[in-house]
A and B are shown apart, each in its own frame.
Chain A
């Protein structure tokens, strides 16, 4: 099954004081557009508190929040790019704080599917050039053009 990724799920220049606020914003967007069910937002926030999703890779830091697939109607990815980084916790060592600049919220509708997309996201986490380009981009369209070949082809 395919994952939806498009300009209307890309948000740039975001300003949030907390990861919770940012996660709520992205989850609300997915809910309003019909990708996820009620309860998804709460599950995302709860999951992040128990099992954080920031990845301690090199360069700009990315978090990949996601929740139970049963709360998803239709698989999709929402991307939030932050003006100033927001503190998340490390997936590997939850006590460690990681200042995140890019959040990729995953609404996955199957438990062991979306293999190619997940692999591409893992590659993106390490792609310093792509991450820098995303941050420098001045519009959603530009970001979509950077990510489309990486995530969808």
Chain B
């Protein structure tokens, strides 16, 4: 099962919306995932316990992060949302 960490500024608002979209997209592809949320400032200490990270905000210090990072502002604006979901599904399948 893939482990996905979703991060945003406070870890409570946009990450919640994105986490749900990820779970729904994976469910419709029959992919089992574990999705957790955190604040952007916690990302460098938690990211490497996951398969990849999805964020709506900008990561300040990503040198320590060794897993793929997917920007998901598209899930809030709608612009490019399908491509982002496809990217996430592909990361889950590999």
Contacts and interface: CB of A to CB of B under 8 A. Distances in A.
Nearest to B74: A92
Contact of B17 (A67, A69, A113, A122): A122
A144 B63 CA distance: 46
Interface string B4-47: 00001111111011011000000000000000010010000000
Central interface residue in B10, B71, B75, by most chain A CB within 10 Å = B10
Interface size class of B (residues with CB under 8 A): 20 to 34
Q: 6 tightest A-B contacts by CB?
A: A51-B9, A92-B73, A57-B77, A126-B78, A111-B12, A118-B17
A14 to B, nearest CB: 22
Interface of A: 47, 50-51, 53, 55-58, 64, 66-69, 91-94, 106, 108, 110-115, 118-119, 122, 125-126
Given A51-B40, A125-B76, A91 B56 contact: yes
Most buried by A among B9, B12, B20: B12
Contacts of B17: 115, 118-119, 122
B9 A118 contact: no
Nearest to B19: A112
